[in-house]
């Protein structure tokens, strides 16, 4: 994070903390909370009967800070709004300064909308002795990959011959391991 943004966020948190603390104050109330008359803990308002009275009766909590009757300092709120707007403007300016290569975005949209069907289809398909499918995908320009039961192998091959050789080695190794397990009559308990 750049130092400017860090400083701006610190100032914003200080301003907001002066208006309303983010956590309960441990040493009394802040300046704004002291200005607002506090309701007593056992406050029980009197009932107001608006329909029976010809004039509007006074609210029982008229002298106290209740709901939207807050006495916040509008100047402090304006400062917070200004700082937030400045931060927002700064971030938008940074976004505009960043170099974006629109040709890459267009190319990506085209690739999504018009997929190259040749890339999706396998060039060659092989079967192991137990029925697993080995598919070779790719071309000479991009290289070739092998998928075993639709799971790609992490190695990319330069040409199709290398990919075929890897598939054959996989099949032979798999068959040898299974034959070794079948031929083994017992296991030594040394």
Local confidence pLDDT in tens for the 190 residues of the chain: 578 888 877 777 776 665 555 555 556 666 776 776 677 667 777 777 777 777 777 777 777 666 554 455 556 667 788 888 888 888 888 877 776 667 777 777 777 776 666 566 788 888 888 888 899 988 888 888 898 888 888 888 999 999 999 999 999 998 888 888 777 766 666 5
**Model pTM score:** 0.37
Residue 19 belongs to a domain: yes
Q: Which domain holds residue 172?
A: 116-183
Query: What is the sign of the dihedral through the CA atoms of 100, 101, 102 and 107?
Result: negative
The order of strands in the sheet holding 143-148 is 124-127, 133-139, 143-148, 151-157
Are 7 and 83 in a shared domain? yes
φ/ψ (deg, to 5) at 121: -85, 140
Residue where a domain stops, chosen among 61, 93, 125: 93
Are 128 and 168 in a shared domain? yes
Are 122 and 71 in a shared domain? no
Residue 110 belongs to a domain: no
Least Cα distance to 137 among 112, 154, 118, 116 occurs for: 118
Residue 175 belongs to a domain: yes
Q: In total, how many domains does the chain have?
A: 2
């Amino acid at each position: 994070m750049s130092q400017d943004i860090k400083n701006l966020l610190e100032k914003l948190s200080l301003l907001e903390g002066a208006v309303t603390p983010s956590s309960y104050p441990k040493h009394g109330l802040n300046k704004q909370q002291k200005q607002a008359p506090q309701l007593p803990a056992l406050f029980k308002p009197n009932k107001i009967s608006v329909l029976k009275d010809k004039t509007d009766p006074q609210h029982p909590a008229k002298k106290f800070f209740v709901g939207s009757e807050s006495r916040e300092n509008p100047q402090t709120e304006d400062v917070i709004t200004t700082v937030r707007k400045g931060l927002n403007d700064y971030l938008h300016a940074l976004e505009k300064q960043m170099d974006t290569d629109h040709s890459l975005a267009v190319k990506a949209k085209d690739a999504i909308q018009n997929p190259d069907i040749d890339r999706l289809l396998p060039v060659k398909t092989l079967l192991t002795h137990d029925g697993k499918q080995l598919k070779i995908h790719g071309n000479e320009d991009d290289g070739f990959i092998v998928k075993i039961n639709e799971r790609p192998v992490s190695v990319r091959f330069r040409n199709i011959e290398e990919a075929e050789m890897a598939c054959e080695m996989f099949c032979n190794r798999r068959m040898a391991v299974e034959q070794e397990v079948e031929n083994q009559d017992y296991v030594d308990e040394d």
